[in-house]
Amino acid sequence: MTTQPAPRSAARTARTARGVLSCVLLGALALAGATGCGGSAAAPADGRGDAPAARKAAPDAAGAVDLGRRITDYAAGMTADGGYRVPTERERRAIADGVRALLDGDRAAAARRLSGVGYAVHTLVDSGGDGARYAEIADATREGEVRRGWGRIYADLRGGPARWQVQVPHPSADQRTEQLGIGLLRGAPGGVLVLAGAHRAADSGAGPDAADVAHRRDSVFAAVSDALADRRLPAVQVHGFADSSLPDHDVVVSPGSGEAGLPSARRLAAAYRAQGMRVCEVWERYCGRLEGRTNVEGEYAGEAGVPFVHVEHNRRVRDDDGLVAKAVRALVEIAKTWGAGSR
């Protein structure tokens, strides 16, 4: 007579068999080039498209992460049908205060301010760059990040105070503009990257343009950018335009609505030309609807007398990794002058 196992033992045996079968099946998939047990497929070389959750760049136990891939994955998840919630004044102020505390060197105070609104601060080591350390201020949960769409802030921790900021208000919508922000943050010390967290057309239930942070004062993006302007940090805001909008030019450079950024804008335009790019300078001629005169961050900086430079890049430049690298070299040149104290 065959003895039947006890119910608990039978259940455990079944679970074990299912686990073995799962790994056998996944192992076969891995041989075919798909994700296997504990493995992951390689991300596209140019970082385009949304990566599956298993391939999202996440820090290891020591905080090491490819910062470029991490930000690219984040931007790839922003779509026009994604979520966005307009933050309250208290929420905007808390995150801006958290950034201020971090830049003042008080990480504990920063963490307290941020935790009250569901944000957190982490230190990352960029394994994809030169091993530099950056602080990441971001929503504490993936669910909150997707539903609220308030964005992230990255601050260079290589030593010395923050000297300048780069703003990316339309990642995903202005495709690959986040690559310009990543390259600039890596390329010049003393930077702070302010990155929007939703597609500009994302639905919030508060109007069709609620997530367009370049033209809304009630955003975390504007609150943080303003806080940095209050610290006298000059800014470059990067955008993208369709080739057909201005077919004879690759780049449009503008000092925004103020004049404090004009010397920097002139130097940046010269740096782009040195990289072989065709530049439309708004102080010299009309550049269509690409002049950045109405962006709220530029208006605030202009009123404060802080340099602000608005830069549009055509699709041809943004689609070509080699041209992106040239654009980054021009941006790095101006950021280094800001780091040296020249405005």
Bridging pattern class, strands 191-195 and 152-156:
antiparallel
Q: Is the pLDDT of residue 142 over 50?
A: yes
How confident is the model over 206-216, as pLDDT tens digits? 887 999 999 99
Token pair 């002139």 is at which residue? 266
Residue 289, C-beta contacts closer than 8 angstroms, at least 6 positions apart: 245
More confident residue, 119 or 33: 119
Identify each DSSP E strand in 177-333 by its residue range: 191-195, 235-241, 251-254, 279-281, 308-314
Query: Which among 201, 139, 129 has a CA at the least distance from the CA of 169?
Result: 201
Q: H helices within 173-261, ranges in order? A: 177-187, 220-230
User: In the chain, how long is the greatest CA-to-CA distance?
Assistant: 98
Show Cβ contacts of residue 318 under 8 Å, excluding neighbours closer than 6 positions: 174, 175, 176, 177, 179, 180, 240, 324
Question: 3-state DSSP call for residue 45?
Answer: coil
Report the predicted TM-score, pTM, of the whole model to 2 decimal places: 0.83
Distances (CA, A) of 164 to 238, 250, 283, 308, 331: 14, 24, 23, 10, 12
pLDDT at residue 243 in the model: 97
pLDDT digit string, tens, across residues 66-76: 999 999 999 99
What is the arithmetic mean of pLDDT over 253-272? 96
Tokens of 73: 């994955």
Q: What is the DSSP string of 149-185?
A: ---EEEEE-SSS---EEEEES-TTTSTTHHHHHHHHH
What does the pLDDT look like over 271-313, one tens digit per residue?
Answer: 999 999 999 999 999 999 999 999 999 999 999 999 999 999 9
Rounded to the nearest integer, the mean pLDDT of the chain is: 86
Query: What average pLDDT does range 96-114 have in this prediction?
Result: 98
